[in-house]
Structure formats: C-alpha cells, structure tokens
C-alpha cells in the first residue's frame, strides 16, 4: 500500500515535469510541479475512465493530458504566471 502511494507520487512528479516542459510553464519550483502532476494525473485518470481508456502507456498519456489541462486551467485562473 505504501509502495503504491510512493510510486504514484513519483509518477506524478515525472508527469508534472513533462507537462511543464510541454506547456512551457514558467513555474520552476519542483514541489509545485509535483503537486500539479499528481492532481493532473488524477484528473487524466478520471477523464480516461469516462472515455474507457486506462492502464499501461495509455494511462500514462492520459496523466500527461490531465496535467496539461490542469496547467491551462491554472493559467486561466492565475494568468500567465503559471
């Protein structure tokens, strides 16, 4: 159980970093990118579940898509700062 949580946090951190690079995020703080990646991964998983997509590489891609979507939402709320 603990190992799964740690793995999800690490994958969320990786996804946050990748999405930040793809979206050319101005945020360079590691912990913020981790948090955005974790929340975005859950968002992408939820969207993937609605579409019937999940697991494996498609699940990872959906995590990146969800994180990119979250970055867009944060930019709408916070402006160009993010």
3-state secondary structure 37-68: HHHHHHHHHHHHHHHCCCCHHHHHHHHHHHHH
Q: Is 25 left (phi over 0), alpha (psi -120 to 50) or beta?
A: beta
pLDDT-based confidence at 20, cuts 50/70/90? confident
Q: What is the mean pLDDT of residues 34-55?
A: 88
* Cα–Cα distance list, 56 to 11, 45, 63 (Å): 13, 12, 11
Q: What is the mean pLDDT of residues 50-56?
A: 83
Report the chain's mean pLDDT, rounded to a whole number. Answer: 86
Task: Note the pTM of the prediction, 2 decimals.
Answer: 0.84
């Amino acid at each position: 159980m603990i190992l799964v949580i740690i793995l999800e946090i690490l994958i969320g951190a990786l996804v946050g970093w990748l999405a930040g690079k793809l979206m050319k995020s101005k945020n360079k703080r590691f912990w913020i990118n981790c948090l955005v990646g974790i929340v975005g991964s859950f968002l992408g998983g939820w969207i993937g579940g609605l579409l019937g997509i999940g697991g494996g590489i498609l699940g990872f891609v959906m995590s990146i898509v969800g994180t990119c979507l979250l970055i867009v939402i944060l930019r709408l709320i916070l402006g160009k700062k993010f």
